[in-house]
Chain A
Amino acid sequence: GVHFNDPKYPQQWHLNNRRSPGRDINVTGVWERNVTGRGVTVVVVDDGVEHTIQDIAPNYSPEGSYDLNSNDPDPMPHPDLENGNHHGTRCAGEIAAVPNNSFCAVGVAFGSRIAGIRVLDGPLTDSMEAVAFNKHYQINDIYSCSWGPDDDGKTVDGPHQLGKAALQHGVIAGRQGFGSIFVVASGNGGQHNDNCNYDGYANSIYTVTIGAVDEEGRMPFYAEECASMLAVTFSGGDKMLRSIVTTDWDLQKGTGCTEGHTGTSAAAPLAAGMIALMLQVRPCLTWRDVQHIIVFTATRYEDRHADWITNEAGFSHSHQHGFGLLNAWRLVNAAKIWTSVPYLASYVSPVLKENKAIPLSARPLEVLWNVSRMDLDMSGLKTLEHVAVTVSITHPRRGSLEVKLFCPSGMMSLIGAPRSLDSDPNGFNDWTFSTVRCWGERAKGTYRLVIRDVGDETSQAGVLRQWQLTLYGSVWSPVDIRDRQRLLESAMSGKYLHDGFTLPCPPGLNIPEEDGYTITPNTLKTLVLIGCFTVFWTIYYTLEVYLSQRNVAFRPICRSGPCHWPQRSQKAKEEGTELESMPLCSSQDPGGVGLESEGSPTTSRLHAPDLLDQGDWSLSQSRGALDVPQLLPPDLLQGKEAQMC
């Protein structure tokens, strides 16, 4: 029942699919109940956002924006040779394009505010990423990042020391302490046999890793699998299938609208938009609440390639699709009634030194670690969320390794998939893989790490040097999880999705931002220029006055009789351009004695300019004032005169 006059809205199948009903994010029902992302700010961390475009301008948030490439507050994209810096604007349009403006398209959370942090259009370092992840983190609620390390099927990279610290700081202190929400795209390395567990942003427990499916719900050719993927949503597929329609920039060849946005870049912002809808109905959701709601509400669907496995807690997960498709109706109804999960508990095993060879045969190397109840008593950890394994493995060809982790329930996670293009001889050095496939399962029990060498060359064997297991979870018991699952299902009718029902929401913390006002280089340069300009003109005018003084034959004969003043040229006088210069005091010695000139007492009659002739009371008054020497008693005068001199 929702109609917009935006010309491309009918083509936005991901919002409302008329051709294949159900193949969309199921958001119109949420909009009908006025849930549009109001009060939430999403920031697109990318190559800039053209916020002047009419689909974005009304929702643009300058307070949440910044340009780290040029170091100024305006994240406008800069046209480049490849006509490439439209990426951030397209992502922004998916999230918050304004409806009913007869222009292009509509955003998922068209009531939210959209900001931009321009950071990809130039050299990027760890410290710049760290600044970006916490930039205006009390204003920006959700950080949408549709980028990452190379998806070339042979890179192992992720946030470095500062980037990691900033992600952690963001979930601790961001968004008034509820935690910034970091949404990352899982990667486009499908054609290179890549796997997003080799991407530290996707692997991070602090990020929501989003994959893509095409309009038919299948994994597109470019998409990657991984055990740390939380969920998927729609994007473009191969040529026969439709891509995502969204706002585009109108610089260079841009028209302001595109029907060709695709890749996991297009999926992540849709997820960010849906999370914005969740935060409107429940602003106090923590970063972990958001992850839990995604796990509880993502929907499994029929796809025989997906290899769905249902874990001990009843959650179905696929390496291709995570816990399934994001569904805006389910996400928002769950958010409406969600009460916060218990604090994050964790358990870290000792560093387990193995130094065991990985057999060249099909037989794998298997190592175990048992986590006892006693191990968990301290943290209270009962059920799992993320499980991370940090490994150091030497091997002459890294891509030949296959690493699997089995949780106590027997749930298998392919955490290190073989990669045919990865011939790196340096193996893994303290690389952390992670999996979400054991979410909700009991933490206690034996964990099995299984490493196989699937290479075909008979090269030298790899060696597992050491590994370390880290469990993240909470005190929730399996019963608590089942209860929550039931509670959510009861809310899916939408009966709570009205303003009459609102659970109490604790206020956030008031955390000052470190953005103490400092001068940006542009401002500083302007000030310096103004300063130079001022100094120059001051010097010029001083010289001019001095020189004109000198030219004026100024020799007053004040020794006898009244001072003669240079004849003011009639012309100059008429034009009022003559220069007035006069001594401020007579030659009278302040001590009363001295070089008194004869005759009438010499006074420094202040020849006020001609305005005196335009008589009025005040002027005659000032005339009197001007002739003040006659009026004041000498002693006072002297003092007065002395002061004046």
Chain B
Amino acid sequence: LVGAGGPRAQGPRGLSWAVRLDGPEGEGAEESLERRADALAQATGLMNAGRIGELQGHYLLVQPAGHRQARQVKAIRQQVEAVLARHEAVRWHSEQRLLKRTKR
């Protein structure tokens, strides 16, 4: 489900990856990048949760909802990392971890 303005960044419960895609510039670049993100999501078995805010070429891929065993999670993580690491359209990728932030 696409939330307004990019990735369904509502509190990520499952695994998710941010990726930076290489793509054409200019007219139609956005659509082309979106298609690449969809294809990459397909290739990794994740869901394309959309562009990350205003960052061109940055997309969030999330694990479809559903409970999984720790062993499965580990296997999924390895598989996704392997696919992203060798995918020619991926310039950069990073698994999203929870950040610890405190009010001051």
Contact = CB atoms under 8 A, between A and B. Distances in A.
Contacts of A123: 11-13, 98
Contacts, number: 142
Contacts of B9: 68, 71, 125, 127-128, 131
A235 to B, nearest CB: 10
A519 B1 contact: yes
Interface in A105-155: 120, 122-137, 146-151, 155
B103 A46 contact: yes
B3 interface: yes
A147 B52 contact: no
Given A125-B96, A514-B53, A147 B102 contact: yes
B12 A125 contact: yes
B103 A120 contact: yes
A514 B51 contact: yes
Contacts of B45: none
B48 to A, nearest CB: 13
A131 B52 contact: yes
B10 interface: yes
Contacts of B8: 71, 521
Interface in B50-104: 50-55, 58, 60, 92, 94, 96-104
Interface in A43-101: 46-47, 66, 68-73, 87
A273 to B, nearest CB: 17
A71 B3 contact: yes
A134 B104 contact: no
B58 A520 contact: no
Contacts of A124: 98-99, 101
A160 B103 contact: no
A104 to B, nearest CB: 21
A517 B4 contact: yes
Contacts of B23: none
Given A134-B55, A160-B94, A518-B4, A69 B99 contact: no
A151 B102 contact: yes
A233 interface: no
A127 B16 contact: yes
Contact of B53 (A71, A148, A166): A166
Contact of A263 (B3, B7, B100, B104): B104
Interface centre among B5, B12, B13 (most CB of A within 10 A): B5
Interface in A324-378: none
Interface in A155-203: 155, 157, 160-162, 165-166, 169, 173, 185, 187-188
A69 B53 contact: no
B7 A131 contact: yes
A66 B4 contact: yes
Contacts of B6: 131, 514
A277 to B, nearest CB: 23
B43 interface: no
A230 to B, nearest CB: 16
A513 interface: yes
16 contacts: A46-B103, A120-B101, A124-B101, A126-B18, A126-B97, A127-B18, A131-B9, A147-B103, A157-B100, A187-B104, A265-B104, A268-B104, A514-B53, A518-B2, A518-B5, A521-B8
Please provide the 8 A-B residue pairs with the shortest distance between their CB atoms, ordered closest to farther.
A71-B10, A131-B53, A134-B54, A125-B96, A122-B11, A518-B2, A71-B3, A265-B104
Interface of A: 46-47, 66, 68-73, 87, 120, 122-137, 146-151, 155, 157, 160-162, 165-166, 169, 173, 185, 187-188, 263-265, 268, 513-515, 517-521, 524
Given A127-B16, A128-B9, A513-B5, 20 more contacts: A68-B10, A71-B4, A123-B11, A123-B98, A124-B99, A124-B101, A126-B99, A127-B96, A131-B5, A134-B53, A135-B53, A136-B5, A146-B104, A147-B103, A149-B102, A162-B55, A165-B55, A513-B54, A518-B3, A518-B5
Interface of B: 1-13, 16, 18, 50-55, 58, 60, 92, 94, 96-104
